[in-house]
A and B are shown apart, each in its own frame.
Chain A
Amino acid sequence: MEGPADILPSTLKKSVVDAKLLLVGAGGIGCEVLKNLVLSGFKNIEVIDLDTIDVSNLNRQFLFQRQHVGKSKAKVACEAALGFNPSVTLKAHHDSVMSQEYGVNFFKGFTLVLNALDNRAARNHVNRMCLAAQVPLVESGTAGYLGQVTVIKRGVTECYECQPKPAQKTFPGCTIRNTPSEPIHCIVWAKHLFNQLFGEADPDEDVSPDTADPELTGDAAGSAALSEPAREDGNVERVSTRGWAAQNDYEPRKLFRKLFNDDIRYLLTMDKLWQKRRPPTPLDWDTLPDAVAGSSSSSASDSSLSDQRLWPPAECAAVLERAVGRLKEQLAARPAGDHLVWDKDDENGMDFVAACANLRAHCFGIRLNTRFTIKSMAGNIIPAIATTNAIIAAMVVFEAFKLLEGRLDDCKTVYLNRQPNARKRLLVPCVLEKPNPKCYVCAEKPEVTVRLDVSQMKLQALEERVLKAALNMVAPDAELLDGRGTILISSEEGETAANAPRTLAELGVRDGARLRCDDFLQNYELIVNIVNSTELPDGQEFEVVGDASQLQPAAPAPAPADGEAGPSSADAGGSAAANGSGNGAGKATTTVDDDDDLVCLSEGEDGTGTDGEVPTATTTVGTPAAKRPAQSDQGTPPAKKRRALSGSESPEVIEL
């Protein structure tokens, strides 16, 4: 092959030929990067991706075609690239990069790692693996028209986790189960309901009325929650939702009656909840409105697409009936004990969630949404297009070239703007930041502070929700630094299972305790400082604070500045970020689905998707404080403030 590499300086040309690269992700950015690498003279590339190809990938992931739907992305991408240039050595792994097989030694085998990922958990993990293996990492992401590329090198630059990311928004279980007030609450409830009925039932995702709602405690608890209400179907409470549905053969009208009538009536008996709220209205199948309140027929016909038309409640019930019937068949077709997995691109699962979310919203007097909008909120859909991916993928390869030439000093964080900024720049390069000495990942001796209630939190929750979900460990061990070296959690099967249901207090963990947590796979050791707190905001179970000096006396979240954001702004995790805390997790959390090219996650809270405006998932904006532009005449970097925008506008800067 002649041509392409001739432009490169000869030293770089040699490094390109000799380099062995790991490409993590074969989605929108990954396909483009792979093509660029193969056409740039790279000879040795491994590609890893867990995903299979979906129809909705085809508008940009050009290595895939209709006949590849359902196949491994990594494999098909490698085959397509080999077809172009058979002399390249390509290896595909259809696997999760977080699997135990890919340890530090695996990562050490590469000259560079290129991330083309779609979710924060995997990005955090690869970040740690590259830090441990001392391999430079090129990180990238896109969201709609926006994109970003950066370079991470241990000890020299910021790591992916040096700056706290805005917390993924979570909702207290009682809001979801008892007192929804926004469409997203109903959507989360509907997704939980799907899992209860057809999916993997998670006790944290209960959908029935919650009698342990903190608002019911104190003298108010008595009235409803504790007294057995008069219910026609008697002992529903003692059977799981799934069991109940199975007993009733998933009969849609019975399901409807339980969910939107009986359960709502039961909620109404908790009168304390409705003293300041508008109480919900139980629904009757036969008297549902068949028109959307207030919308005239002509606006409904503006959009011929049925998923962009607002379904009136009666139609929601009809959709529910059909979807339940089909899902029941799908479930029956599985081996006994198996379950369905909710997927936003599965028609029946999505119909089910859209219909249930709207029916619940109708009960609670919350505004209904179109299936199109609900899909973007339920699936955390970040818009994605070929052009942005092409631009960002090219930038990834340029940064890789510089690393191979040993020009780390010239590497940049580059942002792609939607339109040229005030300084007429579409691409804005910024110098790489130095590592944060207090980073709880890449610091010499990483430490982190976690606020929680030691008398409430069980060890199992500490492992699953704090160490794994929030601090992103894969298989942690934990030792209490009490002078005796008490082992709390062992990653060896069964060794510490007996501890799981006990509270931290019972295990001797008190305010000020230090836990040494260790993840063998990530080669990562972290000291967790426990701060006992019984007053966490918003029903949160715990709060991760970067370091103890950030612990302020408990203060309410700051109100948005005057005029800064309009009344429609969805404050998606913004205050947590402004407080400098890392990740907070509520009791019951929204399931975050990874979409390809996804840059930062937050639930979409579309503002005014009326009159044909294009609703877009809200993207949480966050940029590490003030990035220094690389050039003196650069002017202001893309944005300095953290805020969330709603409506059809995307933010200027994305969070990788």
Chain B
Amino acid sequence: MSASPASNPKSPDISEKNKKYDRQLRLWGDHGQAALESASVCLINATATGTETLKSLVLAGLGSFTIVDGKIATAEDIGNNFFLPSDCAGESRGRSACRLLLELNPDVRGQHVEQPLERLLDTEPDRLQAFSVVVATELTDSCLSRLSEVLWSHNVPLLVARSYGLVGSIRLQVREHLVVESHPDPDSVVADLRLLQPFPALAAFCDSQQLEAMDRAAHGHTPFLVLLYKALQRWRDEHDGAPPSGYREKKQFKETLQQFRLRTADGVPELEENFDEAERAVNTLLTPPSVPEAVRTLFASQQCNSLTAKSDDFWVLVKALHEYVENEGEGLLPVRGPIPDMFSDSDRYIQLQNIYREEARRGADQVQRRVHLLLESLGRPSDVITEEQVRHFCRNTHALRVFEGTAVQQELRHLRLPANEMAAHLQNPESEMVIYAMLRAAERFRSEYSTAPGAEDDQVETDVIKLKACLSRLLSDWGCQNTIKDDYVQEFCRYGGSELHTVAALIGGCAAHEVIKLVTGQYAPIDNTFIYNGISSSSAVFRL
């Protein structure tokens, strides 16, 4: 037990890589970083928005990227894009950007494909299914539609990023995105410490604590969970076994709790912080545990109930979890493990930590057994889902989420929103939906005239009329009247289809953020369209 420390000098070598990523590891953890490092992202077109997106991903340590771009860099590209060197005019835009982006981080691999996306879609569309995410910029509606179809069929997430003058947008297309760590608002998460239904080890520990026999120091350092347990026992004895429920009873329960406080000779309660903690926890911790709504929805879903050999691991885990809840879990999710900080001596705190951790492990082991059986019945090897994966999953049962997206291809064809709802948005001149409509109209203009509205200085007047016509037709397709002010049409023509670097930087930052969410499986992604309006510094998210 008492090996001389000198004989065991394990070097805590902190690698260069961990130093470099220290500040972000604190956000998404080693497993998030590992996911990022094994991800590969495809960028369609090395525009300012596109390279700004890749920049943030390369800095963060993305595994690899591929730029697909058939264009030659122009002076305007160079003036706008930090990752195009001043002397690259006339050269391949994708190659130049690839080179400068790779300088940012030697850990990242990158390559470029010197052809337009259309050709790739014609000749080898399957090449796209190898990517974790595809980020698309500067595509025509028809090309975007084809890309959307291919990626939808392979279930590869597509992120369409666009900056246009002072406005911009991001559209996420993902058929099904599974999130294990959604990081829900901590206020909305009920800590499940099982005080109302203590498992045997917890009950045994609490029963072993003899409050009456403790000296003052030990009494004042008894973890508040024990105090609540004792008070609950007394309460139940006095109330036919029922726990306190409702505001009034919980208030009375606090009085029961007070009875356990030490008192001075003249009956004044001693200052004991652990009792204060217990009192504060009454409202939150004495709520009967239950399976959260979001998780019950998962249990009821079709993917969970019709597993196939091709089902995502996530669904196998959900199914196993469901079976656990129905059987040995007795209606409850497994204990998650971590316990909150509390006023306690460390011996008992550590004991409690271990009790919960052991219980969490027991639950995870049972889920794992069911995972094995399911994999077996699906004809898959039982080790494709690792023990670590199961534990990670069981620790996050409160945070499981599934996102089902909509296809961009569909969106381009017809409006999902009811016409009256869209009309209501558009009648509000401050609504970001107006920006969405304008962006769609500008794309329609580009499809019809092969140039952006206002791109040529001497055509601005006629382009205003043409763009207005495009807008009217778009709105009539949607069943809406044109209530959008002409100012917007003028403003969009003034942009001439150019990217303003600062907007590209902002949209690129947001897009990279979404890519990180997608590849790490952490946090809820945008559902599904983000519109930024730089004229009013405002933004909104719509589901389209």
Which residues of A line the B interface, CB within 8 A? 1-4, 6-8, 32, 35-36, 39-40, 55-56, 58-60, 62, 65-66, 84-85, 144-145, 274-278, 285-290, 293-295, 299, 302-303, 305-308, 311, 314-315, 317-319, 321-322, 345, 347, 351, 361, 365-367, 371, 375-376, 381-391, 393-395, 397-399, 410, 412, 414, 418-420, 424-427, 429, 559-560, 562-563, 565-568, 570, 605, 607-608, 610-617, 630-633, 645-649
Contacts and interface: CB of A to CB of B under 8 A. Distances in A.
A393 B52 CA distance: 13
A394 B280 contact: no
Contacts of A388: 509, 513
Interface of B is mostly: helix
B338 interface: yes
A412 B14 CA distance: 42
Contacts of B75: 1-3
A318 B79 contact: no
B268 interface: no
A277 B27 contact: no
Interface string B216-247: 11101100100000000000000000000000
Nearest to A309: B12
Contacts of A311: 12
Given A385-B23, A390-B512, A566 B59 contact: no
Contacts of B216: 275-276
A4 B186 contact: no
B23 A383 contact: yes
B539 A633 contact: no
**How many of chain B's residues touch chain A, expressed as a range?**
35 or more
30 contacts: A2-B79, A6-B496, A7-B165, A36-B505, A55-B16, A55-B20, A59-B60, A290-B8, A294-B353, A302-B388, A314-B4, A345-B22, A385-B23, A389-B509, A390-B512, A395-B537, A424-B540, A427-B538, A567-B341, A570-B341, A610-B338, A613-B338, A613-B395, A614-B25, A614-B29, A614-B32, A616-B27, A633-B430, A648-B183, A649-B185
Contacts of A275: 216-217
A318 B542 CA distance: 57
B540 A425 contact: yes
Contact of A306 (B10, B502, B526): B10
B404 to A, nearest CB: 17
Most buried by B among A56, A60, A277, A385: A385
B219 to A, nearest CB: 10
Interface in B355-409: 357, 360, 388, 391-392, 395
Interface of B: 1-6, 8-14, 16, 18-32, 52, 55-56, 59-61, 75-80, 82, 86, 103-106, 165-166, 183, 185-186, 191, 216-218, 220-221, 224, 276-277, 280-284, 337-342, 345-347, 349-351, 353-354, 357, 360, 388, 391-392, 395, 428, 430, 494-496, 498, 500-503, 505-506, 508-510, 512-513, 516, 523-524, 526, 530, 532, 534, 536-542
B80 A39 contact: yes
A35 B1 CA distance: 58
Contacts of B16: 55
B166 to A, nearest CB: 7
A383 B494 contact: no
A275 B271 CA distance: 14
Contacts of A8: 500
B349 A322 contact: no
Interface of A is mostly: loop
B283 A562 contact: yes
Contacts of B23: 56, 59-60, 381-385
Contact of A367 (B276, B350, B392): B350
A425 B280 CA distance: 33
A452 to B, nearest CB: 27
Nearest to B496: A6
A306 B509 contact: no
B505 A381 contact: no
B26 A386 contact: no
A40 B502 CA distance: 7
A525 to B, nearest CB: 36
B26 A293 contact: no
Nearest to A351: B12
A62 B540 contact: no
Contacts of A347: 14
Contacts of A429: 536-538
A542 B501 CA distance: 49
A29 to B, nearest CB: 11
A58 B20 contact: yes
B62 to A, nearest CB: 11
Contacts of B342: 567-568
B452 to A, nearest CB: 12
A386 to B, nearest CB: 4
A426 B500 contact: no
Given A59-B21, A59-B61, A387 B13 contact: no
Nearest to B524: A419
Nearest to B514: A387
Contact of A307 (B9, B14, B283): B14
A631 B20 contact: no
A398 B537 contact: yes
Contact of B2 (A7, A286, A386, A608): A286
Most buried by A among B9, B27, B28, B31: B27
Nearest to B225: A567
Contacts of A382: 23
A612 to B, nearest CB: 7
Nearest first, the 3 A-B pairs at minimum CB distance are A390-B509, A568-B340, A394-B506
Nearest to A182: B341
A286 B4 contact: yes
Contacts of B530: 426
Given A55-B16, A56-B20, A610-B337, A3 B79 contact: yes
A560 to B, nearest CB: 7
Contact of A4 (B1, B11, B79, B340): B79
A281 to B, nearest CB: 11
A565 B340 CA distance: 11
Contacts of B508: 390
Given A7-B165, A386-B59, A306 B217 contact: no
A399 B218 CA distance: 58
